Chain A
Amino acid sequence: QSVLTQPPSASGTPGQRVTISCSGSSSNIGSNSGNWYQQVPGTAPKLLIYKNNQRLSGVPDRFSGSKSGTSASLAISGLQSEDEGDYYCATWDDSLNAGVFGGGTKLTVL
């Protein structure tokens, strides 16, 4: 049971926009920054979005992040086949004094 809740799957067709949600609480997303990671099968995760909405250098501007209250979201516009993979949200939890990840969302491009 992950501290942060993500939908287990999401899908879209090429060119579409998809959004992945991440629900937390006041002790994690509510008081800290949300970060997003992409993991292509067989490879290490890589940071996409940090501090809620900042794209890491080299990340296409099709990827965007936002935060509202105790939830964070990752939006991917102009979906491409290479966007397929697992996406994880993460943040620090002040009550646990620990880093926490969402359970991950598997994105399929149909």
Chain B
Amino acid sequence: EVQLVESGGGLMNPGGSLRLSCAASGLSFSSVWISWVRQVPGKGLEWVGRIKSTHAGATIDYAAPVKGRFTISRDDSQHTSYLQMNSLKIEDTAVYYCTTGVFNSGLDNWGQGTLVTVSS
């Protein structure tokens, strides 16, 4: 059974930094693409960015609102993906989900999400 477990969420001040982790099990981690998706409580889904599989070159793409502030990475030896979030803004407040799959073909596994709250 595939499991994705996010961790690292919490309360941060604007301008601060936070690193989220996504620990995966039950799959061949090095061959999966990872996308991070966020959801403001009570609102819709927003794609944050993705990192392709190592086999596909581990290329990374970001959504415009986070480009230059967020960094996605992966450690295949630890079966873990990371979302480093810098220069946090109040509008980054959301539940952050880790997912697997090629976006165009569907994100087939989702973690339970971790809440990030940015507030002064």
Contact = CB atoms under 8 A, between A and B. Distances in A.
B10 to A, nearest CB: 19
Contacts of B46: 101
Contacts of A39: 45
A2, A46, A98, A99: which has the most chain B beta carbons within 10 Å? A99
B47, B50, B63: which has the most chain A beta carbons within 10 Å? B47
A37 B109 CA distance: 11
A2, A90, A104: which has the most chain B beta carbons within 10 Å? A90
A21 interface: no
Contact of A99 (B103, B110, B111, B113): B103
A82 B63 CA distance: 33
Contacts of B106: 33, 35, 47, 49-51, 56
Contacts of B103: 90-92, 99
> Chain B interface: which size bin?
20 to 34
Interface residues of A, number: 27
A101 B47 contact: yes
B45 A104 contact: yes
A100 interface: yes
B107 interface: yes
Interface string A92-107: 1000111111111000
A63 interface: no
Contact of B110 (A35, A46, A101): A46
Given A44-B110, A44-B113, A50 B105 contact: yes
A92 B64 contact: no
A101 B64 contact: no
Contacts of A33: 104-106
Contacts of B108: 47, 50, 56
Interface string A2-41: 1000000000000000000000000000001101010100
Interface of B: 35, 37, 44-47, 50, 61-64, 97, 101, 103-108, 110-113
Interface of A: 2, 32-33, 35, 37, 39, 44-47, 49-51, 56, 88, 90-92, 96-104
